[in-house]
Amino acid sequence: MAGKLITVEGGEGAGKTTQLAFMRDYLERAGHRVVLTREPGGTALGEEIRALLLGHRHDGMAPATETLLIFAARAEHLERIIRPALAAGHWVLCDRFTDATYAYQGGGRGLPPERIAVLENWVQSDLRPDLTLLFDLPVAVGLARAGRRGAADRFEREEWAFFERVRAAYRERAGRNPDRYRIVAADRPVAAVRAEVETLLAAWLERV
């Protein structure tokens, strides 16, 4: 039986990494083999592309270049990790995926979503996440949390309005795809967020 692709999205400082670890444990306890991975990255080449995207050597990178690099990393990730894992019946838990491109490059950078859709269809064919959790929180709260983690990467250095556009794009996509998305209020204590995530995973597991 083919596995499932679950993706986790959210703005800066949303607490994805912490919740992903809980989610992996939860799904393993439910009897699934879980592959935890991330974008951009997840492969040796993808991690090199990630370093180009997040580092400051190319601060003025054009939005189209940025988007193509992200999809180059994604193509590698799909080919080497995601598709083989799904074919083997494993569940793939991915820290960000193409919804992030619609939010950051579409909403944030202003790239037309139709252009992103062309790349999505080309690189992914008909592969789409089975479930997406959006950890949503006010920009001010997220940036304050992310600021405590150390030096800002190329995205974290963006202006406030950029993150407001990212958040709005995520929420708009989630609103249009209620079957696939679950929105989780992430500006709460870790334990409260975890409890809600476990409840909604349990409900979702009943259906699949």
Can you give the binding site for ligand TMP, defined by CB under 6 A?
Answer: 38-40, 70, 96, 100-101, 104-105, 155
* Phi, psi torsion values for 93, nearest 5 degrees: -110, 110
Least distance between ligand TMP and beta carbon 180 (Å) = 17
* Phi, psi torsion values for 34, nearest 5 degrees: -115, 135
Query: Is the previous residue joined to 40 through a cis bond, with omega within 30 degrees of 0?
Result: yes
Instruction: Give the rounded distance of the alpha carbon of 177 from its chain centre.
Output: 15
Q: Are 91 and 35 in contact (CB under 8 A)?
A: yes
Closer of 21 and 30 to ligand TMP (Cβ)? 21
Least distance between ligand TMP and beta carbon 38 (Å) = 6
Q: Are strands 131-136 and 5-10 parallel, antiparallel or unpaired?
A: parallel
Closer of 72 and 200 to ligand TMP (Cβ)? 72
Least distance between ligand TMP and beta carbon 92 (Å) = 14
Least distance between ligand TMP and beta carbon 127 (Å) = 15
